[in-house]
Amino acid sequence: MLFATWCAGLFVFAGTVPLTVADPEKRTDVIVVLTGGSGRLRAGLDLLLEGDAAYLFVSGVYRGIEVDQLLAINKQRPGEVENRISIGNAVDTIENAAETAAWMHAQGYHSLRLVTAAYHMPRSMLEFQNAMPDIHIEPNPIFPDHVKRENWWAWPGTTALLASEFNKFVLAWLRLKLGMLIAAYTANGEPA
C-alpha cells in the first residue's frame, strides 16, 4: 500500500514538472541561477544579455571560483557583464534559497527569475517561496537533453532522477511543515 501511494505521488509530482517557461517575456529585478546542472549558467547569461533583468546572481558556485572564471567557462567576454553578476557558494537547495534571500534583501530587490532544471523546479520553488514569501519568483526551467520529458517512466535514467527528486521534495515539504507546526505551537505559549 505504501509503495502504491509513493508511486501515485511520483506520477503526480512528475505532472508538476514544467514543460515550458510560463512567462518568458516577464522582466524581473534579478536572474538567479542554481548551479549543478548542464546549461543553467548559459541560460542565465543569455537571459541577462537579452535584458530580462539587470543583474544575475549565481548560487551554488564552488568556493574560490570568481565571476571572470565563470564567464570564461561559458565563453562570454567578462567586460560586458562582469559587474552585473554576483556569486554565492551554497552547497544545496536549502542554502541556495537562504543565500539568495539574504542577497535579495540586502540589495533591495523584489522579484527574481529562477533558472534551474525543470525536474528541480518544484523543490526549488518550495524552498525559495518559503525563504522569500515577500519576493515574486518567476520560474524559468531549462530542459536538459538527457532528461526525457515524454514517457519519462520508460526511461530508467529519467525515472531514477525523478524518483530521487520526488523523495527530496517530500522531505523538504515535511521539514517545512514540521517547522511551521513547531513555530505555531511555540507562538501559542506552549513549550516546544
Where do the H-state alpha helices sit in 20-155? 40-49, 67-73, 78-81, 93-107, 121-131
Q: What is the pLDDT of residues 76-135, one digit of tens each?
A: 666 778 889 998 989 999 999 999 999 999 999 999 999 999 999 999 999 999 999 999
**Residue 66 main-chain phi, psi, to 5 deg:** -105, 165
Neighbouring CB atoms inside 10 A of 114's CB total 25
Could you tell me which residue, 71 or 162, shows the higher pLDDT? 162
pTM over the 0.85 mark: yes
Task: Provide the pLDDT confidence category of residue 163 given band limits of 50, 70 and 90.
Answer: very high
pLDDT of 75 reads 72
The whole-number average pLDDT for the span 19-46 is: 91
Angle CA 51–103–140, to nearest 5:
45
**pLDDT exceeding 90 applies to what percent of the chain?**
68
- pLDDT of 192 > 60? The answer is no
Q: CA 152 to CA 8: how far, in whole Å?
A: 14
